[in-house]
Amino acid sequence: MEIASLVAEVQSFKAIAAALLIGFAGLGTAIGFGILGGKFVEGVARQPELSNMLMVRVFIMAGLVDAFAVISIALGLIVFFTSGQFLTPVLEAAKLASVATTG
């Protein structure tokens, strides 16, 4: 049951890491898009004839603001869904330990 508790520890930290990555990405993006949208509406209120041009610029800026948030999300998903390299060293060490005690 040693091995089970070790694996559970690694998996739980993996879950927390993935949750932090995805959560903070969402937080940053929400604030960024909020500010961007607010400035857009202000600009359109000031000069309504520029609304089309400003909207194109808003989508361009949205794609750029998205960038690092989406990198964090992608890393969080990778950490969450693949067994990755966090689990394999633990399993190999456990295998070596069990071979040492029984072999």
Q: Of 16 and 71, which CB lies nearer to other proteins in the complex structure? A: 71
Distance in angstroms (rounded) separating the CA atoms of residues 57 and 64: 11
Residue 19's SS3 state is helix
CA 43, 49, 64 angle in degrees (round to 5)?
45
Q: Of 63 and 89, which CB lies nearer to other proteins in the complex structure? A: 63
Please, which residues have CB within 8 angstroms of residue 37's CB and are 6 or more apart in sequence? 58
Q: Of 38 and 84, which CB lies nearer to other proteins in the complex structure? A: 84
Pull the structure tokens for residue 68: 């690092």
Catalytic residue among 11, 40, 65, 66: 66
66 belongs to the catalytic site:
yes
Q: How far is the CB of 102 from other proteins (least distance, A)?
A: 29
Q: How far is the CB of 83 from other proteins (least distance, A)?
A: 8
Give me the active site residues, please. Answer: 66
